[in-house]
Amino acid sequence: MFEPASTAAMKTLSADLEYYIKESVNITLQNLFEKIITRGGILAYILKSNEKTWYMQVLSSLFNFLKEESRKNPSLGLKDFIEKIDLLKIMYPDNFIEVTPKR
């Protein structure tokens, strides 16, 4: 049904998601974000990309926003943070960009 590489990738994704869910109970949202960026391969992808400068700026802006919101509300959870981003997208649609990897 699935190619062996696809099966391995799905197993890795499943294990990573389980890890993030378990970790989310014990760590701050900032730490969870950092784990997702590193363990999820996002940082590695960015560093290999021809657009690494741009992607790092976007990632830094998002992380700085997360830090500021966490400072305002130390118990900020993932759901609340995503709701804030969604609200900002509605309020300021022209200020949001789609970051889509070039293939």
Q: What is the pLDDT of residues 52-101, one digit of tens each?
A: 999 999 999 999 999 999 999 998 988 999 999 999 888 888 877 666 65
Q: Is residue 20 situated within a structural domain?
A: yes
Q: Which helix (H) or strand (E) holds 84?
A: helix 78-91
User: pTM value?
Assistant: 0.76
User: In the prediction, which pLDDT does 56 show?
Assistant: 95
Q: How many domains would you assign to the chain? A: 1
Q: Is 30 exposed, middle or buried (0-12, 13-18, 19+ CB in 10 A)?
A: middle
| pLDDT at res. 13 | 87
Residue 35 is which amino acid?
K
Query: What angle, 0 to 180 degrees and rounded to 10, lies between the N-to-C axes of helices 29-39 and 52-72?
Result: 160
- The answer to whether residue 90 is domain-embedded is yes
Q: Would 101 be classed as within a structural domain?
A: no
What's residue 84's pLDDT? Answer: 93
Contact indicator for 35, 23 with CB cutoff of 8 Å:
yes
Burial code (b: 16+ CB inside 10 Å, e: under 16) for 69-88 equals bbeeeeebeeeebeeeeeee
Quick one: pLDDT at residue 23? Answer: 87
Q: Which structural domain range is residue 70 located in? A: 4-95
pLDDT digits (tens, 9 = 90+) for 13-53: 899 999 998 988 889 999 999 999 999 999 999 999 999 99
Residue 100 lies inside a defined structural domain of this protein:
no
* Cα dihedral 62→21→46→54 (10° resolution): -10
